[in-house]
Amino acid sequence: MGALAVASVCWGAANAGDYVVVVSAKSPVDKLTGEQVTQIFLGKTESFPSGGNAVPIDQAESSPVRGDFDSKTLGKSTAQVKAYWSKIVFTGKGHPPKEVASSADVKGLVSGNPSYIGYIEKSAIDSSVKVVFSE
């Protein structure tokens, strides 16, 4: 195995799970299960378990955080998630979450709206959001 491959494996292991699912600090939601997060991000429910609208915010397809979230939380590759949403849109049964470029963009949207839910790097957590799920 080459040095680059070893470095990649080590980097992946060190950064695995370095994201959290967040809502606004003003949201009444305090905790969600992985299944509840999956249901929201795959459009199978449009509300939080305690009530209130749940509007998911995704990061860009090219984002490493998106790849981790899709595989670890949703149990699919980003390509599989994209194919899933293509089918849902084609059949008129829904639309994919809004996509933004970065954790900072997710945090900016989520912090200002208690209905929004997104995922960010753990290092981006501040008092404007609260963690409701972590791998």
pLDDT above 70 for 82: yes
pLDDT above 70 for 14: no
Q: How confident is the model at residue 135 (pLDDT cuts 50, 70, 90)?
A: confident
pLDDT above 70 for 52: yes
pLDDT above 90 for 94: yes
> Percentage of residues in the chain with pLDDT exceeding 70?
87
Q: Which two tokens stand for residue 43?
A: 């459009």
Q: How confident is the model at residue 5 (pLDDT cuts 50, 70, 90)?
A: very low
Q: Which two tokens stand for residue 20?
A: 């959290």
- All structural domains of the chain: 18-134 (3.40.190.10)
